[in-house]
Structure 1
Amino acid sequence: MKKLTKLIILCLIFLLPMSFLTGCWNSKELDQLSIVQAIGIDRTNNEQISLTSQILIPSAISSPGSSSGGGGTGRGSTGAQGVLILKSTGETVYDALKNATYEADRRIYLPFNKIIVIGEDTAKGGIAPLLDFFLRDPEPRGNTYILIARGNAEDIIRTTHRQESVPAKALENMITGTLNTSKAVEVNLHEVSIALADHTSDLFLTGIEMIKQEDQGQEIKKPKLSDTAILDYDKLIGWFNGQETRGMLWIRGEVKEGIIVVQSPGPDKGKVSLKIINASSQVKPEMKDGKLMITVKVKENGTIGEQMSPAANIDTPEYFKELEKRQERVIKEEIMAALEKGQKEWGVDIFEFGEEVHRKFPKEWKELKKNWGEEIKNIEVKVEVESNLRMFGKTTSPE
């Protein structure tokens, strides 16, 4: 009987919330909410919080040809395809968000927000206080992407897109689409919260900027993922380019796929594109005579994706071996570039070295962590790379 009672209670716990969700997305209720798709955070000259919010217009995206136009380039409320752009200010993020309702005339609704963009100058002052509301309030979701803008976040939020009626969706697709290069990163609110609570590793976030481009004879501005923002705990300290970003990801064991271009060993010196199939890494800290040393071992498996050297004898073991050496050299160069800037110059731990040291040397870590930002600069890091080419595709020659 007790088991039956417990079973009934469990069923009620799971079924009751579902009853509240049934039919919740009718048109009347949608019209009573301002459904946020993206938020930009900047600071004003007098240190107020400035929020630029991309609000969904359900009627604009459900009816073909009903886009409100507007371009999203003006001030105040402007239509931008399937969204409305609202700008509000306040003493805090929460205050600014509430102030947006004066213009929206509806309750701001955050569960479907996809993107939070923080302006470059604003990020230099620290992002932790700016994200506190989103981490504390139950509405925002942990899978929201966090980006740092080169310039103002407002410019990114006001952008339009030819193929997507909701620009935030285009930004989301850009983030997920560039992961196959391993030269860009994808970081969400949940991952940021873990890093901020850890105090061992430092943060890195997706960078984005507005670029000028010619389109049908006219100059337009459009967003582009731009490098990786590197933070000292929560303060923006600098940027990694694509090669440095991948160097960091090699160390962390987070390179999934991508292309490495090397010069062919053949007589005509054409280019060869080597496709990354998979990769792994090991970070091994050691203590020698009281001095901390770290060895990074990276193993990569790849294949020949393209070779532009007609005279190359691609199917010989010697050719493969030389390509592997050249690929190993590129990987090592990328890793060393990331270490030189991140470890030696900035003293940030975006490589999770502290976590590995803590795991292997817990007693020594108690002292090392007190001044880890300086300690990490003096660590000797040895890099070992092993690359293996498995195959050369369907043909041995480009002809």
Structure 2
Amino acid sequence: MARVLLVTISLVMMGLLSGCWNRIELNQLGIVNAVGVDYGEDGWNITYQIVVPSAMTSGTGGPSGSTNQPAVHVFSVQAKTIHQAWNLSSLENPRRIFVAHNKVVVIGKEAAEHGINNLLDYYFRNPEPRETVLMLLYEGQASEIVKQLNPPEKLPGTSLSDIVDEEKRLLAYFPSTNVLEFALRVNSDSKGAWMPIIKLSGDRSEHSGAEQQSLEVYKVTSPPIKLVLSGLGIFQGDKFAGYFNHEEGLGLSWMTGQIRKTEIPFPCSPSSENSNKATFLVNSSKTKAVPVKEGEHYVMRLKVNIRGNLVESGCPLDLTHPEVIKQLETQLDKEIEKTIFKAWSGIQRLKVDAAGFADKVHRKFPSDWRGLKDRWPEELNRMKLDVQVQAKIRRPGLIQKSFDQLQKEKEKK
């Protein structure tokens, strides 16, 4: 009897411990690397890159390795909703779509003008897609970007995300955003948000996408078409409102504290604005915005403190003198102020609070906000901006005079 009971318990336990009944093998997954979102009369068009594992073993993902196919395959699906598009992908793709490793989502202009609340809803409602996916805007059909190969990298989606990350670290012309950050901004008091603009640079008449781009491209030193960050798309809520150029984008980065390791060219003196220049590398930056009420309206006091090094100098100045360093710091302050005011002019031109000033006014003057909420764009247009920049040059470099100046002094001897 005890033996029968033991066998029965063992069989029951074996049934309970068989936890692989709903397993999905790796070779059954279609790992998505980049997504393009377009909108038209027939609904949403989703274009996505699927990683080809066999091509990843080659040296370049091209003809020089063990395979003659690119490292990704591109598919497009059209549907009434975004989630339905992913389900309809099973009609042309034998693998289960897996979006958890997606790097970037590209928004087409028509989709941006229509509004992307449906896309945000998809990311926050479902457990698999990640809100850390980077967002980019394209002025045409996003499918063009997703179909584009980007040598020398194997995975175009990963290459795009790396370009955005490097631009954020070194330039900050076009501050990046991911799905979570974008959603927080459009649901804030200001309603203003942004995303970098990507474009195709080169001769598009010869090669216009992966289906027309021959793998012979990998045999030349420079591909005919390149993916380039070119501007900043400004959104009012979830809808596209206008553009910022690189100077306005850099000014917005200063206003919102997005500066990391940016290099700033600036004139040596007011009289040498178009000739002799120096370059300052930011090591640390801090921006503080404080609203102040003056009468019935507001002034935003923006304080920027930066520290860094002089990495290039064409100035005919002797950097051993403290007053010369102070002169350069003054010129640097003016250059940053000018950049910030260009962004401020862009904000007033588009009437979009991309800097998030509404949130700061709401926190400091909560009782006033009840009356300001419905007429904030008009109040933003009346707001004045008071910018105070304090730059410190910590190290002027290994030589105290410009190389050109040293040569001229040697010739005189």
TM-score norm. by structure 1 comes to 0.85
Distance 1:398 1:346, change over 3 A: same
Equivalent residue letter for 1:87: S
- Equivalents in 2 of 1:126, 1:65: separation in Å? 38
1:326 and 2:326 equivalent?
A: no
Distance 1:191 1:218, change over 3 A: closer
Residue range with higher mean Cα deviation, 280-289 or 203-212: 280-289
Equivalent residue letter for 1:334: T
After the TM superposition, which residues 122-161 of structure 1 pair with which residues of structure 2 at under 5 Å, given as runs?
122-161=111-150
1:353 and 2:357 equivalent?
A: yes
The one of 214, 224, 238 equivalent to 2:228 is: 224
Structure 2 counterpart of 1:38: 34
Q: Calculate the aligned-residue CA RMSD, in Å.
A: 2.6
1:85 and 2:85 equivalent?
A: no
What percentage of residue pairs aligned between the two structures are identical?
27
- Equivalents in 1 of 2:304, 2:401: separation in Å? 30
1:349 is paired with a residue of what secondary structure?
Answer: coil
1:363 and 2:367 equivalent?
A: yes
Deviations for 1:89-110, whole angstroms, at most 9, x for unmatched residues? 1111112222122111221111
- Equivalents in 1 of 2:303, 2:199: separation in Å? 34
1:390 is paired with a residue of what secondary structure?
Answer: strand
After the TM superposition, which residues 261-276 of structure 1 pair with which residues of structure 2 at under 5 Å, given as runs?
261-265=265-269, 269-276=275-282
1:113 is paired with a residue of what secondary structure?
Answer: coil
Deviations for 1:136-184, whole angstroms, at most 9, x for unmatched residues? 1110012111111122211111111222111111111101111111212
After the TM superposition, which residues 268-347 of structure 1 pair with which residues of structure 2 at under 5 Å, given as runs?
269-309=275-315, 311-342=316-347, 344-347=348-351
- Equivalents in 2 of 1:390, 1:98: separation in Å? 57
1:57 and 2:46 equivalent?
A: no
Query: Displacement of 1:267 after TM fit?
Result: 9.7
Distance 1:334 1:267, change over 3 A: closer
Instruction: For structure 1, list consecutive stretches of 5 or more residues without a partner in the other structure.
Output: 1-18, 70-78
Structure 2 counterpart of 1:250: 254
Distance 1:249 1:20, change over 3 A: farther
The one of 182, 189, 192 equivalent to 2:179 is: 189
Equivalent residue letter for 1:184: F
After the TM superposition, which residues 112-123 of structure 1 pair with which residues of structure 2 at under 5 Å, given as runs?
112-123=101-112
Equivalent residue letter for 1:382: D
Moved runs in structure 1, 4+ residues, more than 6 A? none
Contact residue 184 and residue 228 of structure 1 kept, 8 A:
yes
- Equivalents in 2 of 1:348, 1:141: separation in Å? 28
1:100 is paired with a residue of what secondary structure?
Answer: helix
Greater radius of gyration (CA): 2
Equivalent residue letter for 2:37: I
After the TM superposition, which residues 197-208 of structure 1 pair with which residues of structure 2 at under 5 Å, given as runs?
197-208=187-198
Instruction: For structure 2, list consecutive stretches of 5 or more residues without a partner in the other structure.
Output: 1-17, 205-216, 404-413
Distance 1:80 1:224, change over 3 A: farther
1:111 and 2:115 equivalent?
A: no
- Equivalents in 2 of 1:42, 1:80: separation in Å? 26
Distance 1:267 1:65, change over 3 A: closer
TM-score norm. by structure 2 comes to 0.82
Residue correspondences, number: 364
Deviations for 1:301-329, whole angstroms, at most 9, x for unmatched residues? 222111134x4322222221221111111
Structure 2 counterpart of 1:6: none
Contact residue 145 and residue 188 of structure 1 kept, 8 A:
yes
Query: Displacement of 1:259 after TM fit?
Result: 1.0
Structure 2 counterpart of 1:73: none
Equivalent residue letter for 1:164: E
